[in-house]
Amino acid sequence: MERVPILKIGKTLFVSIQIDLQDESVMQLQEDLAEELAGTGAHGVIIDITAVEIVDSFIGRMLATIGSISRLFDAETVLVGMRPAVAITLTELGLSLRGVRTALNAEKGLALLNGSA
């Protein structure tokens, strides 16, 4: 199983998903992220999914769960770089990811976090 690295930049955790998402790797990411949030006291999480081409309902739901978990640590989650096809799939699946903020790219996501901090 491939592991997604979590980078800490200042008060923000940065996760860039560059692999084909498997159910286990997303579960692992959720665990790692929870650990990291508890340990570092970060106030924001940026998840870059520019490279993700395929999502299913499970991964969509896990993304929403990650958002909810982050909020418990008083951190905001920004999902950045979602591809149009992925956005359409998630909408068709009825997953609007209400608890997660979104931005077009990592730069804008960072600005969003800093602006709201």
Partner 1 sequence: MDVDSNQGRMGAYLRDHQDKVVSRWTELVVAGLRGRSSAAEVRRELEDLYSLVIRAMSGADVQAAGELRAALAELSRSRARNGFTPSETALAIFALKDAVYELVADTTDLMPEYLAFSRTIDDLGLHTFETYATAREQVIADQAASMLELTTPVIRLWDGIIAVPLVGTLDSVRTQLVMEKLLETLVATGAEHAVLDITGVPTVDTEVAQHLLKTVSAVRLVGAECIISGIRPQVAQTIVALGIEFGDIATKASLADALAHALSRTGHKIGTA
Q: Give the residue, chosen from 75, 81, 110, 113, that forms a contact with partner 1 under the rule CB under 8 A.
A: 81
Any contact of residue 115 with partner 1 (CB under 8 A)? no
Q: 29 or 86, CB closer to partner 1?
A: 86
Cβ neighbors of 28 (< 8 A, separation 6 or more) are 1, 3, 4
- What does the alpha-carbon distance between residue 36 and residue 33 come to, in Å, rounded to a whole number? 5
Range in contact with partner 1 (rule: CB under 8 A) among 2-10, 19-27, 38-46, 77-85: 77-85
Any contact of residue 44 with partner 1 (CB under 8 A)? no
Any contact of residue 102 with partner 1 (CB under 8 A)? yes
CB of 61 to partner 1, least distance (A): 14
User: What would the DSSP string read from start to end of 9-76?
Assistant: ETTEEEEE--S---HHHHHHHHHHHHHHHHHH--SEEEEE-TT-----HHHHHHHHHHHHHHHHTT-E
- What does the alpha-carbon distance between residue 46 and residue 77 come to, in Å, rounded to a whole number? 6
Any contact of residue 86 with partner 1 (CB under 8 A)? yes
Positions touching partner 1 (CB under 8 A) are 79-84, 86-88, 90-92, 96-97, 102-105, 108-109
